[in-house]
C-alpha cells in the first residue's frame, strides 16, 4: 500500500504542480475532470445507500458551477445554483408524486449537498487560481500543504509514532487507521512546510502560518465527512482511480476545503 501511494504521489505530484503553474485550460480541464469523476463516485455512494439521485441532473449542475468559478467575471454562480436547486426539487417532487421513490427528500438533499460540495466549494480550485495577484503561489501553497499534511500523518501514524507513543485512534468508527499521533505529526509537518514554502514563493509568512494551521487542523474534517458517507455505504474507498489512494473523491475530500480556505484568506490579505 505504501509503495503504491509513493509511486502515485511522485508520479502525479510534479505534473500537478506544473499544471498549477501553467494555469488556464491546462489547469482547468484536468481539475474539472477529477471533480466530475468525484461527482460520479458520490452518486454511486448515494445509490448504495438506497437513494435515487439523478446523475444526469447533478453532473451538469456541478459542471456549470466549475465553469462559473473559472470565469468569475460572468457572475453566474448564484443564479445557476438557484436554477439547479429548483430543478433538483422538481425532480424530487416528480419522484414523490409518482411513487417512484420512497426516499424523495433524501434524493433531493443528497443532490443538493453534492452540488454544494463538488460544485460550489469545488469551484474554489479555479477562484483561487484566477486571483489577480499571486494566484499560482497561493494555489500551490494550499495544495502542497494539504498533500504533505496527509502524507506526514500517514507516515507518522503508521511507522514512527506508533513505535514510540503507541497508536491512539483519532476516529475509531469512521477511520480506524487514523491516529492522534499521525494528526499531530501531520499538523506540525504541514504548518512548518507552509511557512518554508511561503518564504520561497514570496507569500506573507503570517498568512502562510494561518493557512497552515487552518489546513492541518480543519481539512481532516473533510476526509472524515466523506469517510462517514463511505462507512454508511459499506465501502472502503470511493473508487480505484489512484492506486493506493482510492478514487477521485478520496483524493479531494480534504483538498477541496483547503483551496476554499486559501481563497478567502488570500482575498483578505490582498
Residues whose CB falls within 8 Å of the CB of residue 58, separated by 6 or more in sequence, listed in order? 39, 42, 43, 88, 111, 114, 115
Q: What's the average model confidence in pLDDT over 189-201?
A: 90
Q: Give the residue carrying C-alpha cell 459542471.
A: 63
Please state which of the ranges 2-11, 57-66, 159-168, 230-239 shows the lowest mean pLDDT.
159-168
Please give the Cα distance from 86 to 68 (Å, whole number).
Answer: 18
Distances (CA, A) of 113 to 39, 48, 93, 110, 244: 11, 16, 17, 5, 27
Q: Where are the domains of the chain?
A: 2-269
Please give the Cα distance from 88 to 230 (Å, whole number).
Answer: 23
> Three-state SS for 179?
strand
pLDDT at 8: 65
Q: Would the pLDDT of 24 be above 60? A: yes
Sign of the torsion formed by the C-alpha atoms of 51, 52, 53 and 55: positive
Q: What's the average model confidence in pLDDT over 239-250?
A: 79
- pTM score: 0.91
User: Are the CB atoms for 36 and 62 separated by under 8 Å?
Assistant: yes
pLDDT at 41: 96
pLDDT at 244: 60
Q: Would the pLDDT of 157 be above 70? A: no
- Per-residue confidence at 162, pLDDT binned at 50, 70, 90? low
CA dihedral 165, 167, 168, 170 (to 10 degrees): 120
Q: 147 φ, ψ to 5°?
A: -60, -45
Amino acid at each position: 500500500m505504501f509503495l503504491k501511494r509513493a509511486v502515485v504521489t511522485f508520479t502525479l505530484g510534479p505534473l500537478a504542480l506544473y499544471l498549477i503553474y501553467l494555469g488556464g485550460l491546462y489547469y482547468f480541464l484536468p481539475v474539472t475532470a477529477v471533480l466530475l469523476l468525484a461527482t460520479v463516485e458520490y452518486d454511486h455512494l448515494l445509490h448504495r445507500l438506497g437513494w435515487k439521485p439523478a446523475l444526469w441532473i447533478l453532473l451538469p449542475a456541478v459542471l456549470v458551477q466549475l465553469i462559473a468559478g473559472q470565469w468569475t467575471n460572468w457572475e453566474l454562480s448564484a443564479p445557476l445554483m438557484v436554477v439547479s436547486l429548483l430543478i433538483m426539487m422538481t425532480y424530487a417532487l416528480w419522484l414523490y408524486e409518482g411513487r417512484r421513490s420512497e426516499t424523495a427528500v433524501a434524493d433531493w438533499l443528497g443532490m443538493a449537498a453534492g452540488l454544494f460540495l463538488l460544485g460550489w466549494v469545488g469551484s474554489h480550485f479555479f477562484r483561487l487560481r484566477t486571483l489577480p495577484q499571486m494566484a499560482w503561489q497561493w494555489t500551490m501553497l494550499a495544495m502542497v500543504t494539504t498533500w504533505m499534511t496527509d502524507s506526514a500523518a500517514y507516515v507518522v501514524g503508521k511507522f514512527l509514532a506508533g513505535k514510540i507513543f503507541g497508536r491512539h485512534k483519532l476516529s475509531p468508527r469512521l477511520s480506524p487507521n487514523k491516529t492522534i499521533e499521525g494528526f499531530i505529526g501531520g499538523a506540525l509537518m504541514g504548518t512548518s512546510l507552509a511557512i518554508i514554502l511561503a518564504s520561497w514563493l514570496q507569500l506573507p509568512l503570517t498568512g502562510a502560518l494561518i493557512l497552515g494551521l487552518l489546513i492541518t487542523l480543519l481539512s481532516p474534517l473533510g476526509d472524515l465527512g466523506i469517510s462517514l458517507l463511505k462507512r454508511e455505504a459499506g465501502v472502503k474507498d470511493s473508487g480505484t482511480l489512484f492506486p493506493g489512494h482510492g478514487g477521485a473523491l478520496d483524493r479531494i475530500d480534504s483538498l477541496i476545503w483547503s483551496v476554499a480556505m486559501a481563497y478567502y484568506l488570500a482575498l483578505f490579505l490582498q
